[in-house]
Amino acid sequence: MSAYRRPFLQAWEATYTAGLTLEQLRRRAMTVGLALAEQQARCLIAFDTRFLAHFFAQTLAQDLAAKGVNVLLASTPAPLPAIHHALDQKHADCALYVSARNRPYYIGGLLLIADDKSQLTIHPASDPLPPVDFPPPATNVATIDIRTPYIETLRNALDLEAIRRLPMTFFVDAMAGTTAGIITTLFGEGGQARVIEINRDPDPLFGRGAPHPFEASLNRLRKLVRESDSHLGLALSGDGTALAVVEPGGEVLEPFEASLLLAGHLAMHYRQRGLVIAPPPAPNSPLHAQPRQLVAWQDATGMKLELAGDGLYLERQPVVAMTTSGEVVLSRWRGCPDGLLAGLLFCDAAARSNGSLRTLCAALRSQFSAQ
């Protein structure tokens, strides 16, 4: 479970039809709506690409608006970092996200994203619910595009033009989630760099799996990266918070290795110094976290490294923090996990190493495999 500095997450999840029904979803949202009406607070309602998520979000927006809540409905499926960005920009005081994040396709849910002083909850309300049509008719609730402003923050986070000028190829697996089309939009057309996206078409069932890069084989992505003249592969979770990195040989980097590579890149090219929180290496990892090796890496990068696999401690504002599930936080840019931002920085690392990410991996493994 990740600890968010602000906003925090409270989630309710259930299996479709067994626990997650339209009535149960409305009852939980209504609890939030009643409190918001009393506080005269504004609520953003967003949704992912899950089964019926768009219709559920429209229904909840109508329910809350009928209670007098100032509601904004996202116009398109949105990754979680885009919702955080919209809240940072004060478009709303809180958000309800119709999503089960990166859980398997047969699970749905509702997430509350709010300041921890809001005293909001998503426990079910007991009052009778008014009847609704489903699927809902066209709603008169105001909509907002939160995807485009988020893309612009990514565009301004680093020098994309420097990457676009290089003849490089990146593969991106969107896993049929909310990040589809974002990286290809950022790189655009007319540059030397190519981004080839797979699994970008909407699939509410996520291929009957989970939209999570470390719960999928990524066989197609690994094969494409390995058998083509490409420089990097990225797999992004359904909600955009986590990623897996595939190096040019087709191997998926474990989070420990990915976090150290990313931190080393930030130290060398962005002159960042500070705390790095990484999950411990796996038992079969090519990297061994012996004390003297950790000290040597810290001395070389100017970073302080801590191994922790149970969450992200963002009140400490680490330079890089990554979990075993691939959620990654870069506190200089954002206070919540953002796999897209981390993925772009991996593209940047590949570009600044003349496309030789494999060389960077080999150097790191050499440093940590020495006995």
**Average pLDDT of the residues of the chain:** 90
pLDDT at 9 > cutoff 90: no
Domain end residue (candidates: 103, 124, 146) = 146
Do 315 and 177 lie in one domain? The reply is yes
In a domain, 2, yes or no: no
Whole-prediction pTM:
0.93
Say if residue 243 is in the same domain as residue 212. yes
- For 140-177, write each residue's pLDDT tens digit: 899 999 999 999 999 999 999 999 999 999 999 999 99
168 versus 361: the higher-pLDDT residue is: 168
The number of folded domains in the chain is: 2
140 SS3 class? coil
**Among residues 105, 127, 146, which one ends one of the domains?**
146
Instruction: For residue 130, give the DSSP letter.
Output: P
- Is the same domain home to 127 and 175? no
**What is the rounded end-to-end Cα distance, in angstroms, of the chain?**
34
Q: Are residues 325 and 365 in the same domain?
A: yes
Q: What's the CATH number where 315 sits?
A: 3.40.120.10
pLDDT at 1: 34
Question: What pLDDT sits at residue 312?
Answer: 56
Provide the residue range defining the domain that includes 44: 8-146
Q: Is residue 240 part of a domain?
A: yes
pLDDT reading at 7 higher than 70:
no
Q: Which residues contact 236 (CB under 8 A, 6 or more apart)?
A: 172, 173, 174, 175, 177, 179, 213, 242, 243, 339, 340, 343
Cis peptide bond upstream of 202, omega within 30: no
Q: 50 and 170: one domain?
A: no
What's the pLDDT tens digit per position in 32-43? Answer: 999 999 999 999
Q: Are residues 331 and 360 in the same domain?
A: yes
Answer whether residue 80 is part of any domain.
Answer: yes
Q: What is the pLDDT of residue 232?
A: 93
Average pLDDT of span 102-126 = 90
pLDDT at 136 over 80: yes
Q: What angle do CA 334, 237, 72 make, to 5 degrees?
A: 60
